[in-house]
Structure 1
Amino acid sequence: MILSLALFFSGGGAAVAAEQVELFDSDAQKVVATFQNTEELQAEAQRLLSSVSGRVLELNPSLDHVMIVKIPLAPPKRLALRSAGIETDIAEMFVVMPKKGKRPPWMILHTKEYETVVVEFSGGVEKLRAQVQLP
């Protein structure tokens, strides 16, 4: 499921700096809004990336009833978390925010080497939600 979502969002060979931020609604199964990839969104993405606490331990975290914010990172950002065996450059991030329930938000990260890393983070998503006009 995560791989199919990653393929859905991958847009081709456009330059990362030119790519927009996208808001995907899993219930509607489509991108419901796009935004300019501003310095403010890049700063928020960096803040969230800096709060990564480890890998998601669930075998297959649910992508049902979620909002997902895709943020291309321009330029790619370094993520080093030795306790989780992660040391790589992240090209784009997907912040997965469940609509209901107790599951906290989590991220799907794509590296420059086209690998996928699924992680937990401790940073709040309130500012990001405001930036993409979510209540």
Structure 2
Amino acid sequence: MIRWILCAALLLFPFPAEAAAAQPTEQSVQAERVELFDTDKQQVVRTFPNSSAFQQQAQRILDSVSGRVLDLNPSLENAMIVKIPLAPPKRLVHQASNLDTQITAMFVIMPKSGGRQPWLILHTKQEETVVVEFSAKVDAIREQLHLPKVEKGPRRP
């Protein structure tokens, strides 16, 4: 199942030639841009400069990793996925999951409805893929991406 997720993530986020050839701006950390992918439209809907603000959010999320995803088949449907290339790679240590690795790119999967919590697909410097849960709130990154807040079900009176 995890291999299916890996294949899906790799197919969802091809690395476009123009992103690799782009010149960094003073706001960008590196040439690769942050990409926002809509799984319903099956395409990248926006790109952003890979700024220090995105790098800080990525570090905050990595610092909150709580373990590996235990779902056999976490859904990639009806979600927004943000790809954040990490420059330089960031270290992830989570002893309970036996993780001590350098992360080169992270994919934050944010369901459009409030059913499942967001989760991560991480690519390591050793070209491995790790699928993990995290506890950080995604409100700040959603704001950076100009996405609305997700409603978490019916409101109570």
The TM tier, using the shorter chain, reads over 0.9
| 1:93-113 CA-partner distances (Å, limit 9, x unpaired) | 000000114200000000011
Question: What residue in structure 1 maps to residue 151 of structure 2?
Answer: none
Matching of residue 102 in structure 1 with residue 115 in structure 2:
yes
Distance 2:10 2:106 in 1: 10
Code of the aligned partner of 2:121: I
Question: What residue in structure 1 maps to residue 24 of structure 2?
Answer: none
Matching of residue 39 in structure 1 with residue 52 in structure 2:
yes
Question: What residue in structure 1 maps to residue 127 of structure 2?
Answer: 114
Question: What residue in structure 2 maps to residue 6 of structure 1?
Answer: 10
Distance 1:10 1:110, change over 3 A: farther
Distance 1:62 1:25 in 2: 13
Question: What residue in structure 2 maps to residue 67 of structure 1?
Answer: 80
- Does the CA contact (< 8 Å) of 2:82 and 2:109 recur in 1? yes
Q: Structure 2: state its 5+ residue gaps.
A: 22-28, 149-157
Report how many residues are paired.
135
Shift of 1:6: 1.8
Larger RCO (CA within 8 A; separation ≥ 6): 1
Shift of 1:17: 1.8
CA RMSD of the aligned region, Å? 1.7
2:94 pairs with one of 81, 95, 99: 81
TM-score by length of 2: 0.81
Matching of residue 29 in structure 1 with residue 42 in structure 2:
yes
- Point out the more displaced range, 11-20 or 26-35: 11-20
Shift of 1:12: 6.8
Structure having the larger proportion of residues in strand: 1
Question: What residue in structure 2 maps to residue 48 of structure 1?
Answer: 61
Distance 1:67 1:7 in 2: 15
Distance 1:113 1:12 in 2: 22
Distance 1:19 1:39, change over 3 A: same
| 1:79-104 CA-partner distances (Å, limit 9, x unpaired) | 01010011100000000000114200
Q: What SS does the corresponding residue of 2:101 show, helix, strand or coil?
A: strand
TM-score by length of 1: 0.94
Q: Structure 1: state its 5+ residue gaps.
A: none
Structure 1 residue runs of 4 or more that deviate by more than 3 Å after TM superposition: 12-16
Matching of residue 133 in structure 1 with residue 146 in structure 2:
yes
Code of the aligned partner of 1:119: V
